[in-house]
């Protein structure tokens, strides 16, 4: 078996502007996790002292997460393996719980693939679904969601902020419409957690999912907050862990880290968001000044957009080319869409917004994290114009005399 290799050398310092994919583990989180990777290795289902200590650690983490989202009770917090599993459990779990009667789901057309593909799976099993479109900035009209709800609607799902464009959705308004119709409301907070205030009660969210690895927590753990009044069927069967809704031995170390990451984020969110907003504004101004024919995808920087996200399309280039050449210069960004960048596919979110293929293919996503600095933005702006010029020099679409 081959040993893992280190990343190849780059030109200049390494700068990470792809924090929407993952963030480094906070030192406080690592310190909290370490005992449970060593001497405190107990199984929370065991009745001896080591097991009871692990169970207490899970209870503390539930309290920390519940406070982070203003849940009604720590008992509403379920732990999974990641945000994708949490979204699957929310969508499929609600649907299977009411399987005895007709089921209809309402979602936006720009949901995360975990939601979109879960809905498609349910459609293949007899459910129906309405996918509500967005405006040109990727924002859903609550009235359109309300019009799509029927007497057979068993779930309304909407992300809090978009993973590609950073567009912040009117969740509270949609939550009120879902409550009026008696349909559970699921909020995917995967991209907004750690950056925007989360309040399941104010949003009217019977279900909310997110992953702490987006804001300094560990990978390998996800969260689903579920109001006990929402019926939910388990997708994984076996033991009685997580209230019988998610069988399998809990990942205690990761869950402990998730709780600490949520507690830190509660205290630092405002400062983090303000710093990211400054970096976002500086980077966008710098790109506009340095490169011709650049378009912003999603809302303008400000209250309608995540401060941590910037998605731009550079005419006569391709997102994957920009990403790879930037990486050679030591700058990590995402090409096209966060969850499809490995396959180098065009973003389905941008397509659903009505953005043309060429523009969608030319998109790159810059995302900030807690450790991001102005020096990171300066380095990006130092190398980005040259990367664009190199790609455009090879592009038959680009004619400096006509387009520059």
Pairing of strands 207-210, 222-226: antiparallel
Q: What is the DSSP letter of 75?
A: G
> CA separation (Å) from 242 to 50, 81, 118, 248, 326?
19, 12, 21, 9, 43
**Known catalytic membership, residue 171:** no
133 has which bridge partners?
Answer: none
Distance CA 335, CA 342 (A): 9
Check: CB of residue 36 under 8 Å from CB of residue 255: no
> CA separation (Å) from 387 to 296, 325, 394?
18, 6, 11
Distance CA 320, CA 384 (A): 14
**Which pair of tokens denotes residue 229?**
């009044």
305 has which bridge partners?
Answer: 167
Distance CA 360, CA 352 (A): 10
* 3-state SS class at 310: strand
Q: Which of 122, 326, 339, 355 is catalytic?
A: 339
Residues 6+ apart with CB under 8 A from 216: 23, 24, 25, 26, 29, 194, 261, 264, 265, 369, 370
Check: CB of residue 303 under 8 Å from CB of residue 315: no
Check: CB of residue 364 under 8 Å from CB of residue 315: no
Q: What is the CA radius of gyration of the chain?
A: 22
Distance CA 292, CA 403 (A): 9
Q: Which residues are catalytic?
A: 339
């Amino acid at each position: 078996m081959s040993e893992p290799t280190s990343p190849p050398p780059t030109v200049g310092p390494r700068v990470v502007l792809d924090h929407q994919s993952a963030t480094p583990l906070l030192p406080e989180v690592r310190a909290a996790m370490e005992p449970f990777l060593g001497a405190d290795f107990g199984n929370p289902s065991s009745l001896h002292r080591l097991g009871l200590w692990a169970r207490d650690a899970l209870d503390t983490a539930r309290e920390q997460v519940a406070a982070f989202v203003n849940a009604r009770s720590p008992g509403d917090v379920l732990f999974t393996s990641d945000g994708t599993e949490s979204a699957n459990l929310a969508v499929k779990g609600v649907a299977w719980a009411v399987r005895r009667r007709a089921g209809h789901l309402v979602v936006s057309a720009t949901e995360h693939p975990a939601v979109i593909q879960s809905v498609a799976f349910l459609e293949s099993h007899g459910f129906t679904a309405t996918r509500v479109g967005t405006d040109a900035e990727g924002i859903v009209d609550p009235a359109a969601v309300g019009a799509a709800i029927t007497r057979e609607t068993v779930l309304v799902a909407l992300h809090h902020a978009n993973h590609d464009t950073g567009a912040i959705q009117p969740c509270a308004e949609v939550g009120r419409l879902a409550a009026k119709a008696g349909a559970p409301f699921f909020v995917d907070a995967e991209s907004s957690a750690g950056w925007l205030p989360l309040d399941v009660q104010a949003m009217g969210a019977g279900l909310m999912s997110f992953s702490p690895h987006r804001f300094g927590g560990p990978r390998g753990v996800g969260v689903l907050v579920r109001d006990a009044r929402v019926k939910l069927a388990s997708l994984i069967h076996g033991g009685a862990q997580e209230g019988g809704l998610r069988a399998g031995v809990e990942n205690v170390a990761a869950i402990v880290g998730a709780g600490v990451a949520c507690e830190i984020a509660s205290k630092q969110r405002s400062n983090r968001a303000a710093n990211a907003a400054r970096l976002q504004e500086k980077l966008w101004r710098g790109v506009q000044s340095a490169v011709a024919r650049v378009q912003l995808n999603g809302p303008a920087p400000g209250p309608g957009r995540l401060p941590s996200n910037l998605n731009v399309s550079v005419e006569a280039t391709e997102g994957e080319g920009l990403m790879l050449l930037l990486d050679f210069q030591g700058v990590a960004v995402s090409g096209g869409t966060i969850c499809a960048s490995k396959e180098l596919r065009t973003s389905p979110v941008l397509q659903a917004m009505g953005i043309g293929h060429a523009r969608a293919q030319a998109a790159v996503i810059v995302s900030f994290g807690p450790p991001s600095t102005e020096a990171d933005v300066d380095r990006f702006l130092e190398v980005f114009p040259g990367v664009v010029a190199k790609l455009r020099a090879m592009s038959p679409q680009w004619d400096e005399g006509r387009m520059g």
